[in-house]
Amino acid sequence: MLLREIAHSRTGDKGNRSTISVIVYDMKDFSRIEASVTTERVKMLYKDLVKGEVERFVMPQLGALNFVLHDALGGGVTKSLALDAHGKSLSSAILSLEIE
């Protein structure tokens, strides 16, 4: 199953960091995304973009995971020529992850 079937995503950026939140539609699915959407998988998914660390923050009360991707925006949105690597396209990519 694709992650998009049980969750949605929001993104943001600040400087050379991007943040990606994954939020379940139904709290019963939270343990599934918590187990499946790891920092390692996110780093691998964005391996061509993320040059720094990936941090994960777990928010079970919200049914959400938040990822901070360091050194991910080619120096920052105003410096990067890779406009497709920002915002909505990053959230769309994470929702394409296959989960069990």
Q: Please spell the DSSP secondary structure of 71-96, one letter per residue.
A: S-STT-TTT-S-GGGSTHHHHHHHTT
Give Cα separations from 29 to 33, 46, 80, 81 (angstroms). Answer: 7, 24, 36, 37
Residue 33 domain-assigned (yes or no)? yes
The yes-or-no verdict on residue 82 having pLDDT over 60 is: no
The answer to whether the CB of 72 falls within 8 A of the CB of 16 is yes
Residue 51 domain-assigned (yes or no)? yes
Instruction: For residue range 17-75, list pLDDT tens digits in order.
Output: 888 999 999 999 999 999 999 999 999 999 988 899 999 999 999 999 999 999 887 66
Binned at pLDDT 50, 70 and 90, residue 79 comes out as low
Residue 66 domain-assigned (yes or no)? yes
The yes-or-no verdict on residue 15 having pLDDT over 60 is: yes
Domain ranges, residue 32: 3-80
Domains identified in the chain, total number: 1
Residue 59 domain-assigned (yes or no)? yes
